[in-house]
Amino acid sequence: MLYFVAQDKGYFEEEGLNSELVLFSENNSMLTAMEQKKLQAGALGSTNSILYESQGHEVTIFGGAMTEGHALVVKNEVVAGLGDKADLTALKGKRIADTFGGTADVVFRQGLINVGLDPEKDVELVSAESGSAAFAALKNDEIDGAILFTPFRKLAENEGYTILSYSGEVAGFENHPCCRQVALTEELKANPDTYVGFLRALIKAYKFYQENPDETVEIIANYVDIDKEILKQETYGKFISSNPDPDKGATLAFYDAMVNLNYVKAFDLESGINTELYKEALDSIVKEFPNDKTYQSLVEYHKQAND
């Protein structure tokens, strides 16, 4: 969303960047384009960003994109009679559609462990090829629920299914990253001013999205073929935001969960997160607009997220 706003409002151009948005259907192709230097930056899924670094790819996380934005949705009979006591323990013995290896897969697998369930034995996680496939699986009589990302979580709720838990409600995953801004490490080192300008554009886009919801939804609708009311509900709904901060703390906490789940072996992720470029970008904007409340809120967030 930050890309869409920055492109539409001319913020990339203001920063001297000749920008082109390129849509990728999956992360591996994006990584390949990056390594071939056909792509200078990309919003990669959090699991992929960390996995690629663990595999030795010379890429660095240097900014944020979407935060949270997922939910575990179930059929009403799964939580019938539980009322306010409904939580992830209701999934024992149930079959849940899941996009393996995705952000929400990590969050909810760890969430199941947190409540004493074994995600390999107590719950049957059924592989779905995509978010849309997981959403479609809810109509299958043999499926009890699905792990969904935006906008499918809202579409499912509107069709009468129950949101059992948002991803941001899972203990330890408050403000968890969904996507991260990633670039080749050598490009960040060789062209720091370019990436500071890129982040300045995203920071400006964040301010616009915070202060202009109706126009922001109109901009998103130019890129995403979803009903505008759904777009608004999800863009400004519960447990979802788009923040350009690299959020080192939440990213490292997410990495810890991936290590715990044996998705990656332990490695030095902290050295693969660059927070200096974002801080330089944010400081320069605050210097220009010292009394702007939205930019000041990003300053406070950065202090908390990266201490």
Q: What is the mean pLDDT of residues 151-170?
A: 96
> What's the pLDDT score for residue 173?
96
> What pLDDT, in 10s, does the model give residues 91-146?
999 999 999 999 999 999 999 999 999 999 999 999 999 999 999 999 999 999 99
pLDDT level of residue 56 (50, 70, 90 thresholds): very high
**Same CATH fold, 70-169 and 2-67+178-306?**
yes
pTM of the model: 0.95
Superfamily of domain 2-67+178-306: Periplasmic binding protein-like II (3.40.190.10)
Superfamily of domain 70-169: Periplasmic binding protein-like II (3.40.190.10)
pLDDT level of residue 84 (50, 70, 90 thresholds): confident
Domain-wise residue ranges, the chain:
2-67+178-306, 70-169
pLDDT over 90 (residue 158): yes
- Measured between alpha carbons, how far is 64 from 1 in angstroms, rounded to an integer? 11
In sequence order, the β-bridge partners of residue 149 are 70
| Residue-by-residue DSSP string for the chain | -HHHHHHHTTHHHHTT--------SSHHHHHHHHHTTS-S-EEEEHHHHHHHHHTT--EEEEEE-EEE-EEEEE-GGGSTTTGGG-SGGGGTT-EEEE-TTSHHHHHHHHHHHHTT--TTTTSEEEE-SSHHHHHHHTTSTT--EEEEETTHHHHHHHTT-EEEEEGGGSTT-TT-BSEEEEEEHHHHHH-HHHHHHHHHHHHHHHHHHHH-HHHHHHHHHTT--S-HHHHHHHHTSTTEEE-----HHHHHHHHHHHHHTTSS-----GGGB--HHHHHHHHHHHHHSTT-HHHHHHHHHHHHHH-
Burial class (CB in 10 A: 0-12, 13-18, 19+), 269: buried
pLDDT level of residue 25 (50, 70, 90 thresholds): confident
Rg of the Cα trace of the chain? 19
> What pLDDT, in 10s, does the model give residues 166-213?
999 999 999 999 999 999 999 999 999 999 999 999 999 999 999 999
